[in-house]
Every structure is written in structure tokens, then in C-alpha cells.
Amino acid sequence: MRALFLCLPAMFVATVNAQNTPLTFQSSGKQTALIELYTSEGCSSCPPAETWLSRLKESPGLWKDFVPLAFHVDYWDYLGWRDPWASKSFSDRQRFYAKQWRNDAIYTPGFVLNGKEWRDWSGRRDGPKSAGVKAGVLTVSSSDTNRWQVSFAPANVGGVSYEVHAALLAGGLNSDVKAGENRGRLLSHDFVVLTFVKVSLVRSGDVAQGEFVLNKRRNAAESDLALAAWITPAGRLEPLQATGGWLARPASDR
């Protein structure tokens, strides 16, 4: 489904318990891929892509070789169904990618792999394997899953400034669609971005450090919650390193 516009490994180190033991996610020194899906409940072509993304929950490469997330866009809401997970800022993010690629259109479902348009996802049974590129080690930790500390030790030390991007993800979400192209369908979603932030890091020797806050803005108490975090050069979209993991155990593991 297409819309035209003018211009435009993570290792689970610890678990949270009643005593607020810090929760830490850390990448290896090799690059972990970032998979972004741009999708909408108003798009009849999107359910197969979301089904493919959901299968990654069972992949041994999840959080280690790749970090997946789904940005729900709002530009199909006019068809009669308002996607409850959509945000204009997510649509704008996709437009920024399109502008960078010099594309005159954005579409759903649209996959982005490490900052590049990815069209051959449907022929894969699993997510991408690590390419073995040395990227540096990204570590994020929190004692309350709200305020997170970030440390990035890049493989190539230089004068580059960095930003951390982070998203609170939810899975096990269902929508009984009442209108639009998917009218009458029960749609299921995983790795849905609920909250998204971007924060500049400060260099301290060869390490870039900072913190971010992720507030749970929607009621996702019954959902499978996860964190995704990734590093980019300041002002850029292409990720250098990523990490993440479950905050609440997936229903399939309970």
C-alpha cells in the first residue's frame, strides 16, 4: 500500500525483582541489526508483514543478532479506522528515511534494515544474522525500567558525537477492527513502539554516556513489554549498534 508525498547480542545480564535489582542489556562488540517495520491497522497489506515480525519472538537471534520494532503510522487513518498505536511522529520518521533515500513515496508495510530500505524480508524464515562488523559495545541499565543509564564504547574512537534512541515495545496486542480496509478482522501485533525518545550522549574519554526516561503512556499491563535501544551518529538515522530485551516475560514463555 503506497502513499505519495512531495519531498519528502543483546545479552540478558540481570532481571528485575522485588528488590529493584538493576536490569542490564548489553550488545557484543559486533553490530546488532536494527529492523524497523512501518505498518498500519488501516492497511490490508500489513498483516502478513506483522505475522512475519511476530515469528521473530521465537528466533534464537532475537536481541543478539537483531532488534525488531514496529512503528505504526497514521497516514491511513483517513480510510475510516484510527490505528490506536499510530503516531504522526512515526510517519514523519518514515518520511525522513524516504527523503534520505531520495524516494518520492512512502508505503506500508515498509521494512528498514540498518537504515536502508529492505524489500526481501518475505523470503526469509528468520531475521538477519550478524554481519560481524565491529561496532562497539552498547550497555543500558535501569533499576526501575523507567530511567535508564547508557554507555557506548565505540569500536572506532574519534570525534563523533552520538545519540541514543530508545523505544518501549509491547507485544500480544489485539485489535478488533471495525472499519477501513481490515474491517471485520482481528489483528495481532508484537514489538509495537509505545514510547520513543532520542537523547544526546556526552563523551567521557573513549566512552559516550547519558540517560533517558521511558514513561509507559498507554495501558499495556497485559502485554509483553520490551526495550529497544540503539546508537546513531548525532543527527543521523542509521544505527551503529543496538541492544534490547524483554521487560516482562512473553506470554509464550509463561
Single-letter residue type at 18? A
pLDDT beyond 90 at 68: yes
12 pLDDT above the threshold of 60: no
| pLDDT confidence band for 118 (50 / 70 / 90) | very high
Residue 122: the pLDDT is 87
CA gyration radius, the chain? 18
Write out pLDDT tens, residues 171-215.
999 999 999 999 999 999 999 999 999 999 999 999 999 999 998
Question: Is the model more confident about 7 or about 83?
Answer: 83
Q: Model pTM greater than 0.75?
A: yes
User: Residue 76 is which amino acid?
Assistant: W
Quote the distance between the C-alpha of residue 149 and its chain's center. 18
| Mean pLDDT of the 219-225 span | 69
pLDDT for the residue 251: 58
What mean pLDDT is predicted for residues 65-93?
A: 97
